[in-house]
Structure 1
Amino acid sequence: MMKFELRKEILMLIDSKREDDYWDFKVKYHSNSANLLHDIICMANNRVDRDAYIIFGVVDGTYEVVGVKDDENRRTQQHMIDFLKDKKFVSGIRPRVEVRNFIISGLEVDVLVIKNSTDTPYYLTEDYKDQGRIVRANHIYTRVGDTNTDINRSADINNVEYLWKKRFLLTRSPLEQVLKRLENKSEWKNGEGGYYNCIKPEFTITINNEDDEYDRRIPEFYSYALINSSTMYRELRIKYFNTQLFNDLIVILDGGRYSTPAPKWAFLNFGEHKVHADYPFKYFTMDSASYKLNEFLYNEEDQEEAHVRRRFFEVVLLFNDELEKETFLEYVHHYEDDFINKLNTCDDYFSVDVDTDHHRDHIVERLKTGKVLNQMLLDFRFRWGYL
């Protein structure tokens, strides 16, 4: 989530004048580290399956913003990470946290973001004590509504069951389960015509290697950003038993060195009726099934493939999500003159061997568009900031 979007959400939570499942207000940072650890674990084990927030510098009850500038217990992100590092979590898996700072009503407010994960339930294997408060070993804490599990008790059995189901992906749809399991490549074996999951073999990925229809497709512009522009297309299907959950077009690039799902089209237009100002580009979002498959198919240990992938993503954009894409396009519209200037001065280093000059110019313009937009995306992220 972009920083300004998180700030907007925090303002909405303050305006709601209440606490709930995934956010809690604190007027100051914890003076007792056991209480801090307990709050973090409760938030990490929240029941709403999303990032959670502990918001410092807001009075619980009146919801007045008072800030944390002079708080003697104030901690940085590194302090929080170091604090969790030596705690005895089961299997050594601990919550991921980030600290973000905002100016709200002219005052500094800190937000401790506890990242959502399927590694629940988080719990300790050894008691942690501070000033008479004890976070108990083998106690599972959670948060229901605006209330944390008491530090001396374990959560109710129905809440504990939910957290274990979340870990084993039983709260997710079959497609969500497959996409999550793609993150662990060691679970998958290369079988005849594709892959199957070793733990849940009912999940399969098949790639159709023989289809003349796909072979007749014309290479997209990004094929010419690579040393070898030869391109093949295949169909990928994700199945649960015999039910097809998802299908995608796979592009095999650079003479077979790199395979990826085809990126999506998007269009940059500076005027409703200006056809000549319509700049198409290709992109992925990191939360999409296509990009998760891109990561799955990529062999990061193959140096040649890594080189091809870098060149591919020089002209294909990668967004965090659709919201970032739309916000970025607004940004480019605001800096239209900068975009046009960069496009006109972009070095033509692309070697495009096609039949006609018109076709070549068409491809080069799209290659330049992708390159320039990637440069502007870096500037956009620097200006707005990210979590």
Structure 2
Amino acid sequence: MKLALLNEILTKAPNENDHWDFKEEWYSNKGELLRDIMNLVNTVHHDDCYIIIGVDDSGKMVGVTNDSNVMNRQQLQDFLRSKPFAQNWYPQTDVESFQINGYRIDVITVYNSNNVPIYLSKNVKRDGGPLKAGLIYSRINDSNTPVDESTTDNQMELLWQKRFHLDISIKDRYKYALKHPKDWDYIDPLEKMDPTYVYSRDPNLVIKTKGPLTDKNRHFDSYMMSEYKIRIAWFLIQLYYGNTIIYDAYIFPVDDGSYEMIIPKQGFINIPDSTNSMFEYKSYRFYLKNDFPYLLTKFVNSFRQGGSWRVGWRNIQSDVVIYNDDEEIKYYETLFMEHYLNNKSEFNPNPDSLKFLISKIEKSGTHGEGGDIGLIAKSMEEEHLVVEYIKKLQSKTQQKPR
């Protein structure tokens, strides 16, 4: 949990909802701890939930001191793992401590899951009455389900919709499905038939590829720098829901079709110029892990046999920055800009590298598409130097920036 989020929640104490709960002290009644966690897992939103310990009923911070019932992350996970959950799956949690205004505040994070609703296969003892097998406890607003009842029919329906991803947009359903290629059927193309993928859990989700596209010139780009053959031939990949195209992009075979890539996004880093009011910019290529270009690149290659995809993926990682989220993009682009302002010469292409790249372009075959080969190589090398530096920054931090 981020400290800024905790401080924001504390300003709203003692008000509770289906995202957080306040406790004055750690649980002496471990059955009640289990009940609270089950209620927070069985929520219909897609956010993490929090049990914040060290806040009394009036919303005042009292802190955690000399509490014999404190549990660390491993102890809590072991506790949950020992319980008879019907799905042979237990909630994922974390435990963290924060110092705020001289008080120690402990936070149990209950991670969001789509494996809902969860329930017990056997009764579990609890002071005040057992948690009963088969009952589905769920948090609605600031209230937990009574210990001897299941949640409402409406809440139950919403939980099942969450489980099967029926409560999210079509694009988000696609993103989830692409992460599970084993749930897709690949239809081998016959003559004049496009390669097609059909999602077995919902046949409305269909992916088709078309090409090659004769109206697109072959050309060269920096995200092909590490490939043996770096000339791009264009195809089209289309994501359908029923008869409606909800997303399409260009896809191209790499190294004689041993694997395929979706074109990465192009980033632009604006560099302020202190001598005038103009900006220069540095461009580069990147993938965002929860966006279609990245997900589709991994998806289509998961159907390939042999080890060529693993070799290809190493090449892709050499030529493209891969981010977890938009926050990382902003973080690393800012670091790059700060470094570039004082070290511009580092990003001038090396003459030997340019000579090698020009030779590579010529061997891949060109008839002048895209302009002068020297200028093409220079542009590719400049983008690649940006990628290399940002990847070095990522390897140094080794964690998502906070």
TM-score, normalised relative to structure 1: 0.87
SS of equivalent to 1:256: coil
Cα shift readout 1:156-178 (whole Å, capped 9, x = no counterpart): 11111111121122222333323
Kindly provide the amino acid, as one letter, of the partner of residue 315 in structure 1: D
Q: State the distance in 2 between where 1:104 and 1:52 align.
A: 20
Q: 1:170 aligns with which of 166, 172, 184?
A: 166
Kindly provide the amino acid, as one letter, of the partner of residue 215 in structure 2: E
Aligned to 1:303: 307
Pairwise CA RMSD:
2.9
Question: Is the CA contact 1:35–1:133 (under 8 Å) kept in the aligned structure 2?
Answer: no
Aligned to 2:197: 195
Aligned to 1:268: 269
Q: State the distance in 1 between where 2:319 and 2:65 align.
A: 43
SS of equivalent to 1:91: coil
In structure 2, do the counterparts of structure 1 residues 136 and 337 end up closer, same or farther at CA, with 3 Å as the change threshold? Answer: farther
Q: State the distance in 2 between where 1:29 and 1:338 align.
A: 52
Q: State the distance in 2 between where 1:133 and 1:330 align.
A: 56
In structure 2, do the counterparts of structure 1 residues 41 and 346 end up closer, same or farther at CA, with 3 Å as the change threshold? Answer: farther
In structure 2, do the counterparts of structure 1 residues 288 and 136 end up closer, same or farther at CA, with 3 Å as the change threshold? Answer: same
Aligned to 1:254: 255
Q: State the distance in 2 between where 1:30 and 1:47 align.
A: 25
Q: 1:354 aligns with which of 353, 357, 361?
A: 361
Aligned to 2:105: 109
In structure 2, do the counterparts of structure 1 residues 156 and 259 end up closer, same or farther at CA, with 3 Å as the change threshold? Answer: same
Query: Once the 2 structures are TM-superposed, how far is the Cα of residue 334 of structure 1 from its aligned partner?
Result: 4.3
Count of equivalent residues: 379
Q: 2:26 aligns with which of 26, 29, 33?
A: 29
Kindly provide the amino acid, as one letter, of the partner of residue 354 in structure 1: I
Kindly provide the amino acid, as one letter, of the partner of residue 122 in structure 2: E
Aligned to 2:180: 184
2:20 paired with 1:19: no
Query: Once the 2 structures are TM-superposed, how far is the Cα of residue 15 of structure 1 from its aligned partner?
Result: 1.0
Cα shift readout 1:278-310 (whole Å, capped 9, x = no counterpart): 221112222223322233223297432112212
In structure 2, do the counterparts of structure 1 residues 15 and 236 end up closer, same or farther at CA, with 3 Å as the change threshold? Answer: same
Kindly provide the amino acid, as one letter, of the partner of residue 295 in structure 1: K
Larger radius of gyration: 2
Q: 1:371 aligns with which of 383, 388, 393?
A: 388
Query: Once the 2 structures are TM-superposed, how far is the Cα of residue 242 of structure 1 from its aligned partner?
Result: 0.8
Q: State the distance in 2 between where 1:283 and 1:328 align.
A: 12
Cα shift readout 1:86-128 (whole Å, capped 9, x = no counterpart): 3222221222223344333244433322222221101111122
Q: State the distance in 1 between where 2:230 and 2:96 align.
A: 44
When you count helix as a share of all residues, which structure comes out higher? 1
Question: Is the CA contact 1:229–1:255 (under 8 Å) kept in the aligned structure 2?
Answer: no
2:285 paired with 1:282: yes
Aligned to 1:137: 133
Question: Is the CA contact 1:231–1:255 (under 8 Å) kept in the aligned structure 2?
Answer: no
Higher mean Cα deviation, 165-174 or 296-305?
296-305
SS of equivalent to 2:80: helix
Q: State the distance in 1 between where 2:125 and 2:335 align.
A: 49
Relative contact order higher in (CA < 8 Å, ≥ 6 apart): 1
In structure 2, do the counterparts of structure 1 residues 347 and 91 end up closer, same or farther at CA, with 3 Å as the change threshold? Answer: farther
Higher mean Cα deviation, 197-206 or 177-186?
177-186
Cα shift readout 1:28-76 (whole Å, capped 9, x = no counterpart): 3222221111111111111323221122233342242x44364333222
Higher mean Cα deviation, 222-231 or 182-191?
222-231
Higher mean Cα deviation, 96-105 or 331-340?
331-340
Question: Is the CA contact 1:332–1:339 (under 8 Å) kept in the aligned structure 2?
Answer: no
Q: State the distance in 2 between where 1:60 and 1:217 align.
A: 67
Give unpaired runs (5+ residues) of structure 2: 190-194, 363-372
Q: State the distance in 2 between where 1:85 and 1:53 align.
A: 19
Aligned to 1:326: 330
SS of equivalent to 1:232: coil
In structure 2, do the counterparts of structure 1 residues 267 and 141 end up closer, same or farther at CA, with 3 Å as the change threshold? Answer: same
Aligned to 2:368: none
Q: State the distance in 1 between where 2:344 and 2:75 align.
A: 44
Question: Is the CA contact 1:266–1:282 (under 8 Å) kept in the aligned structure 2?
Answer: yes
Q: State the distance in 2 between where 1:318 and 1:304 align.
A: 20
Aligned to 2:192: none
Q: State the distance in 1 between where 2:210 and 2:77 align.
A: 46
Equivalent positions of 1:19-168 (< 5 A) are 19-64=16-61, 66-68=62-64, 70-131=66-127, 133-168=129-164
Cα shift readout 1:249-268 (whole Å, capped 9, x = no counterpart): 22322332222321111112
Cα shift readout 1:204-259 (whole Å, capped 9, x = no counterpart): 00011331134x24122010122332433211111112111111222322332222
Give unpaired runs (5+ residues) of structure 1: none
SS of equivalent to 1:270: strand
Query: Once the 2 structures are TM-superposed, how far is the Cα of residue 338 of structure 1 from its aligned partner?
Result: 7.6
